[in-house]
């Protein structure tokens, strides 16, 4: 895992004060059948550990409003619904915009070790949590970037990603504005949103010639980037 702190600089995690030991210890498949994706025992253990850390750090950083007893259903199951809808290709690149406590980005990284995931979080304390938890889980397919989304549109992040995921870090039209420069042509924003917000987004983006909007699953909104 690496941590990016500048426009084109990536800093190894050990320079951030931690050491990643035995990367790739967890057995990982190189190809996932996303339509039937289901956590393995090892992946479930990693996800539970993530939720435990999220709960432990939450009092200091306000990472989530979801209590620990509901965390699996809200954080993991909803992220699974997004993954099943997204059908991310092997070796694709994915950014989690406004990652916060790592939902859905860390879940994506655990369940899809064949996908390169960048967690984007402008709050440095929350980004520090993401560095900590990804080191704890030994996730070699993750980078953490502590920058504002508005500053991410320049190289090397411009048009770099096949997918952007987010748990409604902003209203969907604004989220689309922030995501579009990061997506390559044909890339897709996958957002976990409330039904009312999804319906409003479909209406709001109806006139955007660069966007094709669909609702592939309850609570999931997809905005596909068309050619400019």
Task: Please list, residue by residue across 113-135, b when 16 or more beta carbons sit within 10 angstroms of its beta carbon and e when fewer do.
Answer: bebbbbbbbbbeebbbbbbbbbb
| Greater model confidence, 176 or 156 | 176
Task: Determine which helix (DSSP H) or strand (DSSP E) holds 124, and give its type and residue range.
Answer: helix 124-136
Q: Under DSSP, is residue 173 helix (H, G, I), strand (E, B) or coil?
A: helix
Q: Which domains does the chain have, with CATH numbers?
A: 61-225 (3.40.50.150)
Q: Is the pLDDT of residue 19 over 60?
A: no
d(CA 72, CA 97): 21
pLDDT for the residue numbered 32: 37
**pTM assigned to the model:** 0.84
Q: Can you tell me the distance from the alpha carbon of 15 to that of 169, in angstroms, rounded to the nearest whole number?
A: 29
- Per DSSP, which regions of the chain are E strands? 2-4, 10-12, 93-97, 116-120, 142-145, 161-166, 183-192, 211-217, 220-225
């Amino acid at each position: 895992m690496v941590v990016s702190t500048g426009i084109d600089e990536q800093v190894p995690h050990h320079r951030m004060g931690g050491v990643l030991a035995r990367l790739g210890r967890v057995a990982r498949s190189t190809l996932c059948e996303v339509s039937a994706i289901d956590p393995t025992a090892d992946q479930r253990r990693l996800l539970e550990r993530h939720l435990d850390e999220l709960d432990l750090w939450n009092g200091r950083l306000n990472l989530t409003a979801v209590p620990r007893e509901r965390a699996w259903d809200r954080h993991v199951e909803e992220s699974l619904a997004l993954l099943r809808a997204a059908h991310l290709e092997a070796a694709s690149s994915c950014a989690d915009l406004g990652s916060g406590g790592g939902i859905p980005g860390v879940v994506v990284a655990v369940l899809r070790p064949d996908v390169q995931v960048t967690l984007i979080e402008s709050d440095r304390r929350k980004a520090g949590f993401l560095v900590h938890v990804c080191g704890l889980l030994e996730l070699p397919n993750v980078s953490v970037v502590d920058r504002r989304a508005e500053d991410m549109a320049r190289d090397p992040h411009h048009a770099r990603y096949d997918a952007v995921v987010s748990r409604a870090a902003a209203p969907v039209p604004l989220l689309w504005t922030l995501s579009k420069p990061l997506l390559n042509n044909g890339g897709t924003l996958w957002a976990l949103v409330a039904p009312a917000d999804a319906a409003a987004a479909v209406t709001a983006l109806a006139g955007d010639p660069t966007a094709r909007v669909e609702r592939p699953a309850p609570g999931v909104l997809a905005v596909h980037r068309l050619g400019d």
